[in-house]
């Protein structure tokens, strides 16, 4: 799916490019900027910023916008906007761009003076100088583009590999205004741009990669349900930034903000030895799991996950509750509406770390089972999963299970991070990027009931002679709500059969039923049913029910949302029934 | 809807009766019973009982079957079965029944000897003697019919008013075998049968009655959303048995089974004065709310509720947690998987009381807010709502909010009551009364996300000249999950608009947002939208989302279940747009 979507988007871009061969001189662009009220970029994470506000926005707020760029499809959309705006201008002012050789030479000092919309926003790339003032409001990653203002693009593009595409260079070329002086070019080349992803770990070749930098990948669906406990190597990976290199010897976990308590700093050894080790089997799911099905309805912004951005593992570590008590947590002192914020050690070029928060009541509940985990499936956490320490918040969306944990802060406020405030929230299908108000929706915490079919795969062929078909899949619900039933249909949802549920590895004694509200792990399920006579095609559908009797919605369109999260409609797979040759002859 | 369903069922019965005018002599009936393997009654709550097991079943188990009879539609279905079986026999043995005058005279002593299937099951009614042996397995209420064996039917029929129908007498007449002796008739008449419902309280005439004895009624939907706090008089009533008369002076609440504790007995005064008074605004909903929509798909068993078996009130009382602590509850001693059982003071003729249980963790949680309430909306509990004390379990299905509370028992087992074990559970649409295994599904506790449209009503007319339409309704979710959005469609679900939510009385300051997991009260909602041009009919649809982002399923059929519970698909209302006369002339 990912490839298909990108191909379509590329075709669209090529079409736009044909219409915009004719560019503008810089002065004309400035006139355009002043004379035309530019629409705010559709994909900016910070909507409502006027160009005049750019400088004032250089506070912590704009840093959170950094995450927006990671949404590859959104970027493509924004580049589309860039082109349509250029096209609009081109119809009124048609004048060929001056050839490169006739452009002036600038020194780095001159470039450095252009760091604001008022003064113009200039950048350099491979020895050329570009005035991107006009592009700033169209930049898919929002105004974080101003980080590069007055300097080189290379280190930023190294961080966000989405820029390594031909059409990005093509867009850039239209803004070229000069060449960098020979001396400054030599200086620049001596500062080698390093790839912050160069120290990322090796990954299992079976993984299906959605984005390489940062690394985002899921296992093939058909092997996902082979194990009740997903092997760590194929457990889905969802990184927002480069994997940080953490030295376990010098590692410290900071705990702050506990009312009436004192800041606490723990070594890895202290975390392991001063607190009881607690083990929980918990399923983690990305909010964007099954986003590709929403993309089929209407393009959304985000990684194009299939059905396998979900996995199940056994996690061991200290209870967050115990660590908070050690830091002086007293229930009677802390407001019930407080939050526990987490900061990762993964950061972008500006030093902004990944961050998220959960409600305090989940963090301190005896039955919340929130862990500061240092083991996954009985071994040290793998680098991709947060070595040496990550948060595991059972029943809660993956995004709050902060990896490479550096800091814990008890606060009356939620995390101010981009991912808590302006991402990972659900909206009505009526809400688009022009009308969305991220403040109007709660940050996703518990996830709704979910299930999907892992076998057979879409388009598979079932032999009529087999007489029956076996359907397999997974089912899980957030908030510790236990899956109590999975219904499977072979006829598109007209009639249903109840699948067998499996809550341990096949052949092993099933685990005892978890206490109420603490069913953190998925159930695998399986149904073997006779092939319906005469059917040439089966539309296999599954839907699960949890013990609060929440059901999955029937269809995707009514739950479609602009970020493509919470995609939990009935899962549908079409397979073909192949008649035996003998029978085919008779037909 | 209720009326329509019953009318249809009556027509069906009349049809059956035409075919079964010819009855059988008793001896022939016995032959039939021995020779033919009778199917188990379709509506019996205790499936799988063979006739030979009737005597053995005289333990606590069969008592729970009593509740089955309250399902009026199920009873009608069973009478249908009776007729089709009689019909089957009639086609082979055609012989007219002897006229009444020629039937023998029996003494009460002789009747009393017939109290089992082996000896025959005889009963008396208004001086006549009936051998109902053959009917036992067809009785809709299960084998509780054996309660009357050897005695008079009158007191049982007085309890279950469903018997006050002509066709019941008609069925009975076919089993007549004699007359009671004159002396015994005189004796029987002197024992006046009393109506156990005669002391039920007066009710508000606006209520729409689903069943009079026991009393079950809902307010008209269009007035339900007029108040954020539903006035007690029109709060939906869901009684399973007659309203008990409880003397507040002699009332005692028994608390038993707390491991390591001692039994506790509390007067009403002690409950009010020895424990802090806690107030909670909580919505209660019957599991069968909106059952009528399931009935439209396929007939289910249960009261034919509309959309108003849900209401919102303010409850005050002692915390259950505090009372359990007073009874010696110690978290470290009690198993986490334990339950807290409740017994009502309402009982049937056998003394079986209404009963239910909730998981212990809900009962003792600081944040569970479970009350032993003695006030509703600031006044003593009304008789219909459990005077003097009821349990209020916020976020949990109405059936566990036991009224007229008599006893609390901490136990490792759930309540053994019919309503916990063999009722109030959800099943797949594929499950029918022949395949249902009540042990396979969990007792409903938390309810799923729900919403419905209270205005306009189905079939209403909207004037084109009004230019806009206002839609109102309620939304609520179980488990303390807060409703965060309601989407409304005017075109059957194709496009959506976001409604305004209301969490207090109109014009009052909205209540502060509840702590996470403690949103016990519904939200009312409203949307005023322009009338779509050219539309002659609007199909208005609503769907709600809670803060775990659970959504309502799109359609009813895939969530249909044999008991008609958990009916929470999108709610749909069709209204007509009336063109202005001027415009109509132009058309």
Contacts of B487 in chain A (CB under 8 A): 428-430, 558
The answer to whether residue B517 neighbours chain A at the CB level (below 8 Å) is yes
* Mean pLDDT on A20-35: 31
Q: How many CB pairs under 8 A join A and B?
A: 129
**pLDDT at residue number A228:** 96
* Mean pLDDT on B136-143: 80
Other CB atoms within a 10 A radius of the CB of residue A171 amount to 21
pLDDT surpassing 70 at residue B542: yes
The answer to whether the CB of A336 falls within 8 A of the CB of B365 is: no
Distance from CA of A543 to the nearest CA of B (A): 9
* B139 catalytic per annotation: yes
CA–CA dist A131, B67 (Å, integer): 80
Other CB atoms within a 10 A radius of the CB of residue A345 amount to 21
Chain-centroid distance, C-alpha B400: 12
Question: In this structure, which CATH number among 3.90.420.10, 3.90.800.10, 3.40.50.1100, 3.40.50.2000 belongs to the domain B208-422?
Answer: 3.90.420.10
Does this chain's domain B208-422 share its CATH topology with B449-578? Answer: no
Which ranges in A174-304 belong to alpha helices (H)?
A: 182-190, 221-224, 268-273, 291-297
Interface of B with A in 538-557 (CB under 8 A): 543, 545, 547-555
**pLDDT at residue number B101:** 60
CA–CA dist B202, B217 (Å, integer): 13
Which of A189-193, A353-357, A407-411, B326-330 bottoms out in mean pLDDT, i.e. has the lowest? Answer: A189-193
Q: Is the ipTM of this complex over 0.85?
A: no
3-class DSSP state of A310 = strand
Of A336, A487, A549, the CB nearest to B444: A549
**pLDDT at residue number B582:** 59
Residues B403-462: tens digit of each pLDDT: 999 999 999 999 999 999 999 999 999 999 999 999 999 999 999 999 999 999 999 999
Judged by CB atoms closer than 8 Å, whether chains meet at A516 and B359 is answered as yes
**pLDDT at residue number B206:** 87
Q: A190 — phi, psi (to 5°)?
A: -75, -25
3-class DSSP state of B166 = helix
| A167 membership: H or E segment, kind and range | helix A166-173
CA–CA dist B125, B127 (Å, integer): 5
Nearest to A38 by CA among A49, A46, A23: A49
Nearest to B60 by CA among B355, B301, B295: B355
pLDDT surpassing 60 at residue B264: yes
Residues B59-75: tens digit of each pLDDT: 333 333 333 333 333 33
* Mean pLDDT on B90-102: 44
**pLDDT at residue number A221:** 92
**Which residue in B49, B163, B291, B518 is the catalytic one?**
B163
pLDDT surpassing 60 at residue B41: no
Contacts of B559 in chain A (CB under 8 A): 551
Q: What CATH number labels A449-578? A: 2.60.40.650
**Which residue in A251, A286, A291, A390 is the catalytic one?**
A286
Distance from CA of A541 to the nearest CA of B (A): 11
The answer to whether the CB of A547 falls within 8 A of the CB of A484 is: yes
**pLDDT at residue number B147:** 74
Structure confidence at residue A77 as a pLDDT band (50, 70, 90): very low
Which of A66-75, A321-330, A378-387 bottoms out in mean pLDDT, i.e. has the lowest? Answer: A66-75
DSSP-assigned states of every residue in B462-509? EEGGG-EEEEEEEEE-STTPPEEEEEEESBTTSS-EEPEEE-SSTTSP
* A83 catalytic per annotation: no
The answer to whether the CB of A336 falls within 8 A of the CB of A390 is: no
Other CB atoms within a 10 A radius of the CB of residue A416 amount to 15
Q: A487 — phi, psi (to 5°)?
A: -100, 135
pLDDT surpassing 80 at residue B83: no
* B339 catalytic per annotation: no
Looking at CATH, the fold of the domain delimited by B105-190 is given as Flavocytochrome B2; Chain A, domain 1 (3.10.120)
* Mean pLDDT on A500-510: 87
Cis check for the bond before B171: say yes or no (omega within 30 of 0): no
CA–CA dist B506, B526 (Å, integer): 11
Residue A146 is encoded by which pair of tokens? 């101003």
| Alpha-carbon distance values, B179 to A215, A225, A474, B108, B110 (Å) | 89, 70, 65, 10, 11
* Mean pLDDT on A582-586: 57
Cis check for the bond before B388: say yes or no (omega within 30 of 0): yes
Residues A368-386: tens digit of each pLDDT: 999 999 999 999 999 999 9
* B238 catalytic per annotation: yes
pLDDT surpassing 80 at residue A193: no
Contacts of B476 in chain A (CB under 8 A): none
3-class DSSP state of A455 = strand
| Alpha-carbon distance values, A87 to A74, A90, A92, A94 (Å) | 20, 5, 9, 10
Structure confidence at residue A333 as a pLDDT band (50, 70, 90): confident
**pLDDT at residue number B85:** 45
pLDDT surpassing 60 at residue B218: yes
* DSSP code of residue B420: H
What integer best gives the mean pLDDT of chain B? 83
**pLDDT at residue number A555:** 98
Judged by CB atoms closer than 8 Å, whether chains meet at A428 and B484 is answered as no
The answer to whether residue B449 neighbours chain A at the CB level (below 8 Å) is yes
Structure confidence at residue A519 as a pLDDT band (50, 70, 90): very high
CA–CA dist B545, A425 (Å, integer): 12
The answer to whether residue B492 neighbours chain A at the CB level (below 8 Å) is no
Residue in chain A lying closest to B363 (CA) = A516
Distance from CA of B381 to the nearest CA of A (A): 28
Residues B448-477: tens digit of each pLDDT: 999 999 999 999 999 999 999 999 999 999
**Which residue in A64, A82, A114, A163 is the catalytic one?**
A163
The answer to whether residue A429 neighbours chain B at the CB level (below 8 Å) is yes
Q: Which residue has the tokens 């060449």?
A: A179
* A464 catalytic per annotation: no
DSSP-assigned states of every residue in B529-568? EEPPTT-SEEEEEEEEEETT--B--S-SGGG--TT-----
Sorted by where each begins, the domain ranges of chain B are: 105-190, 208-422, 449-578
**Which has more pLDDT, A217 or A581?**
A217
Contacts of A549 in chain B (CB under 8 A): 426, 444, 446-448, 566
DSSP-assigned states of every residue in A189-222? HHSPPP-TTTTPPP--TTSEEEETTTTEEE--HH
Residue B246 is encoded by which pair of tokens? 């409880």
Residues B508-531: tens digit of each pLDDT: 887 788 899 999 999 999 999 999
**Which residue in B286, B290, B400, B474 is the catalytic one?**
B286
Share of chain B residues as helix, strand and coil, in percent rounded to the nearest 5 = 30, 25, 45
| Alpha-carbon distance values, A312 to A227, A283, A553 (Å) | 9, 4, 24
Judged by CB atoms closer than 8 Å, whether chains meet at A550 and B444 is answered as no
Judged by CB atoms closer than 8 Å, whether chains meet at B367 and A361 is answered as yes
The answer to whether residue B514 neighbours chain A at the CB level (below 8 Å) is no
Judged by CB atoms closer than 8 Å, whether chains meet at A554 and B555 is answered as yes
What integer best gives the mean pLDDT of chain A? 83
- Partners of A237 in the beta sheet? A217
Contacts of A553 in chain B (CB under 8 A): 551-554
Contacts of B426 in chain A (CB under 8 A): 485, 545, 549
Contacts of A483 in chain B (CB under 8 A): none
Residue B58 is encoded by which pair of tokens? 């005289």
Give the contacts of A366 (CB within 8 A, at least 6 positions apart).
A321
Percentage of residues of chain A with pLDDT beyond 70: 80
The answer to whether residue B500 neighbours chain A at the CB level (below 8 Å) is no
Distance from CA of A183 to the nearest CA of B (A): 58
CA–CA dist A26, A582 (Å, integer): 73
Residue B242 is encoded by which pair of tokens? 């007659």
* Mean pLDDT on A424-453: 96
The answer to whether residue A445 neighbours chain B at the CB level (below 8 Å) is yes
CA–CA dist A291, A299 (Å, integer): 10
Judged by CB atoms closer than 8 Å, whether chains meet at A498 and B551 is answered as no
* Mean pLDDT on A531-535: 92
Judged by CB atoms closer than 8 Å, whether chains meet at A430 and B498 is answered as yes
What is the sign, positive or negative, of the torsion defined by CA atoms of A441, A442, A445, A446?
negative
Structure confidence at residue A138 as a pLDDT band (50, 70, 90): confident
**pLDDT at residue number A117:** 87
**pLDDT at residue number A160:** 66
Instruction: Find the Cα–Cα–Cα–Cα dihedral A366, A372, A377, A379, rounded to 10°.
Output: -140
Give the contacts of B583 (CB within 8 A, at least 6 positions apart).
B464
Residue B175 is encoded by which pair of tokens? 């089993």
CA–CA dist A429, A568 (Å, integer): 14
**pLDDT at residue number B34:** 34
**Which residue in A106, A130, A374, A424 is the catalytic one?**
A424
Contacts of A450 in chain B (CB under 8 A): none
Q: Which of A551, A562, A565 to mutate to test the interface with B (most CBs of B within 10 A)?
A: A551
Structure confidence at residue B378 as a pLDDT band (50, 70, 90): very high
The answer to whether the CB of A236 falls within 8 A of the CB of A282 is: no
- Give me the sheet containing B252-256, strands edge to edge: B264-267, B252-256, B405-411, B339-347, B353-359
The answer to whether residue B447 neighbours chain A at the CB level (below 8 Å) is yes
* Mean pLDDT on B92-111: 67
């Amino acid at each position: 799916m990912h490839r298909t979507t990108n191909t379509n988007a590329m075709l669209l871009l090529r079409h736009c490019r044909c219409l915009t061969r004719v560019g503008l001189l810089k002065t004309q662009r400035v006139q355009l900027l002043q004379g035309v009220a530019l629409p705010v970029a559709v994909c900016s994470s910070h909507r409502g910023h006027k160009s005049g506000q750019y400088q004032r926005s250089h506070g912590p707020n704009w840093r959170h916008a950094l995450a927006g760029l990671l949404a590859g499809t959104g970027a493509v959309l924004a580049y589309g906007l860039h082109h349509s705006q250029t096209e609009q201008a081109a119809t009124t002012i048609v004048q060929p761009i001056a050839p490169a050789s006739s452009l002036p030479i600038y020194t780095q000092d001159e470039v450095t003076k252009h760091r604001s919309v008022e003064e113009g926003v200039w950048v350099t790339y491979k020895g050329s100088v570009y005035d991107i003032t006009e592009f700033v409001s169209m930049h898919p990653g929002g105004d974080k583009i101003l980080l590069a203002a007055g300097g080189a693009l290379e280190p930023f593009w190294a961080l966000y590999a989405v820029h390594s595409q031909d059409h990005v260079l093509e867009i850039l070329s239209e803004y070229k205004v000069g060449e960098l002086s020979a001396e400054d070019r030599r200086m620049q080349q001596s500062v080698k741009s390093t790839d912050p992803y160069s120290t990322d770990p090796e990954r299992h070749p079976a993984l299906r990669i959605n984005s390489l930098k940062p690394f985002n990948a899921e296992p093939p669906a058909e092997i996902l349900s082979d194990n009740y406990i997903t092997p760590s190597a194929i457990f889905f990976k969802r990184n927002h930034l480069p994997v940080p290199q953490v030295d376990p010897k010098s590692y410290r976990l900071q705990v702050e903000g506990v009312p009436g308590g004192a800041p606490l700093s723990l070594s890895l050894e202290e975390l392991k030895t001063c607190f009881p080790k607690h083990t929980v089997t918990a399923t983690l799911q990305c909010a964007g799991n099954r986003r590709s099905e929403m993309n089929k309805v209407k393009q959304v912004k985000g990684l194009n996950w299939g059905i396998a951005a979900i996995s199940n593992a056994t996690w061991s570590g200290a209870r967050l509750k115990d660590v908070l008590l050690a830091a002086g947590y007293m229930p009677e002192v802390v407001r019930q509406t407080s939050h526990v914020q987490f900061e990762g050690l993964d950061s972008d070029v500006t030093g902004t770390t990944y961050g998220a928060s959960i409600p305090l009541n989940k963090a301190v509940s005896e039955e919340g089972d929130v862990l500061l985990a240092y083991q996954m499936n009985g071994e040290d956490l793998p680098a991709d999963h947060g070595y040496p320490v990550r948060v595991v918040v059972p029943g809660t969306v993956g995004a709050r299970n902060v990896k490479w944990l550096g800091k814990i802060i008890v606060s009356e406020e939620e995390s101010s991070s981009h991912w808590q405030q302006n991402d990972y929230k659900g909206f009505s299908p009526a809400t688009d990027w022009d009308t969305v108000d991220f403040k109007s929706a709660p940050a996703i915490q518990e996830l709704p009931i979910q299930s999907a079919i892992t076998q057979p795969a879409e388009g598979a062929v079932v032999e009529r002679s087999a007489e029956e078909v076996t359907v397999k899949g997974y089912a899980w619900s957030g908030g510790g709500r236990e899956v109590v039933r999975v219904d499977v249909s072979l006829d598109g949802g007209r009639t249903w059969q109840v699948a067998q549920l499996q809550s341990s590895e096949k052949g092993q004694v099933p685990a005892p039923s978890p206490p109420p509200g603490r069913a953190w792990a998925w159930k695998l399920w399986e149904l073997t049913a006779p092939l319906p006579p005469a059917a040439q095609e089966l539309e296999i559908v599954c839907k699960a029910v949890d013990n609060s009797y929440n059901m999955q919605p029937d269809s995707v369109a009514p739950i479609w949302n602009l970020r493509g999260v919470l995609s939990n409609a009935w899962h549908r797979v079409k397979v073909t029934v192949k008649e035996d040759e003998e029978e085919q002859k008779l037909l």
